[in-house]
Structure 1
Amino acid sequence: MPVVAVALYKEDGRWLMHRRPAGKQHGGLWEFPGGKVESDESPANALVREIREELGIAIDASDLKPAGFAQEGEGERPRPIVIMLYTCTVWEGEPQALEGGAIDWFTPDDVLALDKPPLDRALSSTLFQKRPD
């Protein structure tokens, strides 16, 4: 199952993370915001839609830079998840947690230390081996 996520980066060196609402799968854990890719969407367009719905900000697909991916192992569920992570440094609006939970900005070391779902742990490890252009 294709899923997209974004690592929003501020010039002060901090990255936005979203804490999942209690009661949802992985509730209380921190993740990169995003969501599922619908069958009629490209990954970048799905991410533009998801971020508008989840954070209330506008991003442009042309500002997204691929940063890596993480996937569940075969047999973990009928359709294993593959998360494609993008970075973005340009957006319009102030991010808000519109679908519950919380958001905050963290340094790379703080992101690595947060309690995260397994795929987000893998994504953050990959991301912080790289730096935005």
Structure 2
Amino acid sequence: MHVVAGVLIDVSGRVLLAQRPEGKHLAGLWEFPGGKSEPGETAAQALVRELQEEIGIVVEPGEVLMRFPWTYGSKCLDLETLRVLRWSGEPRSCEGQALRWVEPNGFDDARLTPADRPIMALLRSVAP
């Protein structure tokens, strides 16, 4: 399953995270917003669609930050993470998930989904 995640960084250097809602796999943990790509979609197209559906913003995707396989039990993901260069609109919950802007260096990894921890580690390694 191909999954895309978007990294939005505000002017203060904080990143946007979404909390997995109750009833979903890994409920209560935080992740970078995004979702599954549809057949025939590029990662950028999937990210634009997913972020519009999930958090109500229109984005301009940038470069791929990371791409790696991840396995949760019998679920195998191909996780592709893209930096979001610009967006219009204010991120808001469109699907009942909590949203939060966090400092990468001040966020406890235990609160992230395991697949999102390498992404946060990369952001920490390049933070000023």
**If the length of structure 2 is used for normalisation, what is the TM-score?**
0.90
Task: Say how many residue pairs are matched.
Answer: 128
Q: Structure 2: 5+ residue runs without aligned partners? A: none
Distance across 2 between alignment mates of 1:59 and 1:126? 21
Q: Deviations over 1:23-75 (max 9, x none)?
A: 111111000000011112111000000000000000124xx2211123224x9
Distance across 2 between alignment mates of 1:120 and 1:6? 11
Q: 1:96 aligns with which of 92, 97, 101?
A: 92
Distance across 1 between alignment mates of 2:116 and 2:106? 14
Task: Tell me the equivalent position of 2:45.
Answer: 45
Does the CA contact (< 8 Å) of 1:19 and 1:28 recur in 2? yes
Task: Tell me the equivalent position of 2:2.
Answer: 2
Task: Tell me the equivalent position of 1:121.
Answer: 117
Does the CA contact (< 8 Å) of 1:67 and 1:127 recur in 2? no
The ranges of structure 1 where at least 4 consecutive aligned residues each deviate by more than 6 angstroms after the TM superposition are none
Does the CA contact (< 8 Å) of 2:60 and 2:85 recur in 1? no
- In terms of fraction of residues, the more strand-rich structure is 2
Task: Tell me the equivalent position of 1:71.
Answer: 69
Letter in 1 for 2:70: E
What is the RMSD of the two structures over their aligned residues, measured on CA atoms? 1.9
Q: Structure 1: 5+ residue runs without aligned partners? A: none
Task: Tell me the equivalent position of 1:85.
Answer: 81
**If the length of structure 1 is used for normalisation, what is the TM-score?**
0.87
Does the CA contact (< 8 Å) of 1:68 and 1:127 recur in 2? no
Task: Tell me the equivalent position of 1:111.
Answer: 107
- Which SS does the other structure have where 2:100 is aligned? strand
Distance across 2 between alignment mates of 1:52 and 1:2? 18
